[in-house]
Chains A and B, each alone.
Chain A
Amino acid sequence: MNNKRQAKDKIIQYIFFILAFVSIAILCMILFFLVREGVPVFELVTVRDFLFGDYWYPTSDPPDFGIFPLIAASLLVTVCSAAIAIPLGVMTAIYLAEIATARVKEIAKPMVELLASLPSVVIGFFGMVIVAPFLQDVFDIPTGLNLFNASLMLAFMSVPTICTISEDAIASVPIELKEASLALGATHWESIVRVILPASLSGLSTAVILGMSRAIGETMVVLMVAGGAAMVPASIFDPVRPMPASIAAEMAEAPFRGDHYYALFATGMVLFVFTLIFNFIADYLSNKHRQVGASTL
């Protein structure tokens, strides 16, 4: 009897192990495929020329495979969108966690989360049809499909991520810390800024990094509203072409296992490395500044 129960336990253990292993296996397979299809391009260009070359003309004769403008575009779009999304997301989170009444929170929080459920193509369409002409008219710029528009749309997409995770982080700060701060005569505002925010710093940083990694990997929005000029922008109103947009736009027509195809996969590798770095940073920050409970008697 006992034996049978133990065996059952073992089987269940194995099943769960296999299930957990599946996602790792899939990741490894995708990674293997990405590298296998991407590496051959380095027979044509050196790693240095690929990463820092200024010209992306994959189909000309002879072709140029320099993705520096694409990398610059990806980074700039991410940084600009973070500059918009971080204040918006974190402040909304503070409001929801600390200031809002239960009733307001009940309505506002699902609303913010609803923003996350908007398909990216809808946000892209909004940016293309509504925001771009608006920017053209208001700022009198040649085109509304540019770095600024893309950053704005990406900020809309990363606000829910940043807000939800930040809100959880702020809400999970032990109540004793806040009580102690208030008991020492600090105002509510002082408690938020001096006690609660520092205590939830790890959660906030994780939120920001995850929001940014969402922005750097986002494809549809940048494909539709970033403009797509493969050059390093001189102003915030210049069109840019981030890496995902380039891959999405060109992959469908690139000859199978041609040089262009390999170059696009190599671009995918670079993109993967970027998101990997973001995730490592998020992981590191969430471990480093972890608030491990409050010291109470």
Chain B
Amino acid sequence: MKFNFLKAIIVLVSVFCLATGAWAENLEIKGSTTVLPIAQKAAEAFMKVYPDVNVSVSGGGSGNGIKAIIDGTTDIADASRFIKDKEVKLAVEKGVYPVPFGVAYDCIVPVVHPSNPVANLTKDQLKAIYQGKIKNWKELGGPDKKVVVISRDTSSGTYEVWEKIIMKKERVYPGALLQASNGAVAQSVAKNSYAIGYVGISYLNKDLKALTVNNVEASAENAMSGSYPVSRILYMFTKGWPTGTTLKFINFVMHPAKGQKIVAEAGYVPLY
């Protein structure tokens, strides 16, 4: 009885190994939720072209993606920020060399409720709002109502860009509301007439009014020309220079007619 049981397990395991080996190659992608829509759509299109490759995509955040690259638990890490010094150190200690690929531009756009008359803010005004120095819409040409400041969690890639470009390393004041995702910020600004928030350009919709920054509109052309001030590059990291399927996938994403089209469809700004 016992012997048979053991035999059964061995047979099962070997069948499983053989089957997965014969069926498909696996490609793991993990990381930033900002890059997730690009990775997801690119993976679907990639699998159509290479049916014998099985691409699995998951979110979890830039930090987790880079951690997975360092630990070797993923093939590609999505990140909405560049790798940090500490992470590079950890990677090198473990003998890993993460290689970055810029795959798209992302614009971060300040948004208000559609009923708000304010249409443009300067970088300095935005900074003062997020520092808690401007507290009333009256000071900005709006109604006599308190500004409800909505920010992102301090470790999100979106926040980091905002902090770097708008806040210039000054702190967002503690009274600002925190939302944990672009979607949640969009949702709460759409539901609050006196709120201001910031989201990635792909999250703009008819319930939000996008503000121009220093009179420059957030758009693909302005991001690429560098005239729109609040934009960033989105990355995919690989463990060492990519080879095999990973290389195929990266090339697919970078291809102007393939992956970069998907980037545009996902609401980001393509590189070309």
Contact yes or no, B61 A58, CB < 8 A = no
Are the CB atoms of B171 and A57 closer together than 8 Å?
A: yes
A227-B192 in contact (CB<8A): no
A255 touches B191 (CB 8 A): no
A133 touching B180, Cβ below 8 Å? no
28 contacts between A and B (CB under 8 A): A58-B155, A60-B154, A128-B184, A128-B187, A129-B191, A132-B188, A132-B191, A133-B191, A142-B148, A143-B195, A144-B192, A224-B184, A227-B177, A228-B153, A228-B177, A228-B178, A229-B175, A238-B175, A249-B155, A251-B61, A253-B62, A253-B63, A253-B153, A255-B67, A255-B84, A255-B87, A256-B67, A260-B155
Partner of B160, one of A57, A59, A257: A59
Q: Is the CB of B87 within 8 A of A230?
A: no
Q: Once the chains are docked, how many angstroms separate the CA of A52 from the CA of B259?
A: 50
Considering only CB atoms, which chain B residue lies closest to A228 in the complex? B178
Residues of A within 8 A of B66 (CB): 255-256
On whether the beta carbons of B188 and A254 are closer than 8 Å, the reply is no
**Total chain B interface residues with beta-carbon distance under 8 A:** 41
B143 within 8 A of A: no
Check B191 against A230 for contact (C-beta < 8 Å).
Answer: no
Total inter-chain residue pairs, C-beta < 8 Å: 111
Question: Which residues of B are found within 8 Å of A145, using beta-carbon distances?
Answer: 177, 188
Interface residues of A, dominant DSSP: loop
- A255–B98 Cα gap in the complex (Å)? 15
Contact present for B184 and A142 (CB under 8 Å): no
A136 to chain B, nearest CB (A): 6
Which residue from A224, A227, A228, A256 sits with its C-beta under 8 Å from B70?
Answer: A256
B72 to A: closest C-beta gap in Å: 13
B183 to chain A, nearest CB (A): 11
Please state if B178 and A227 are interface contacts (CB–CB under 8 Å): yes
In the complex, the 4 A-B pairs of residues with the closest C-beta atoms, listed nearest first? A228-B178, A252-B61, A253-B155, A249-B153
| Nearest CB in chain B: distance from A225 CB, A | 10
Q: B174 at the A/B interface (Cβ < 8 Å)?
A: yes
B175 touches A252 (CB 8 A): no
Known: A143-B148, A145-B188, A257-B90. A239 touches B63 (CB 8 A): no
The complex places the Cα of A58 from the Cα of B178 at a distance, in Å, of: 14
Known pairs A55-B174, A228-B179 / 4 extra A-B pairs, C-beta < 8 Å? A128-B188, A132-B192, A142-B148, A252-B64
Q: Residues of A with Cβ closer than 8 Å to B?
A: 55-61, 69, 128-129, 132-133, 136, 142-145, 223-224, 227-231, 238-239, 241, 245, 248-258, 260
B169 is an interface residue with CB less than 8 A from chain A: yes
Q: Is the CB of B63 within 8 A of A256?
A: yes
Would you list which residues of chain B between 191 and 214 have a CB under 8 Å from chain A?
191-192, 194-195
**Contact of B87 with A256 in the complex, beta carbons under 8 Å:** yes
Query: B53 at interface (Cβ–Cβ under 8 A)?
Result: no
Q: Does B133 contact A (CB under 8 A)?
A: no
Determine whether the beta carbon of B148 is less than 8 Å from that of A230: no
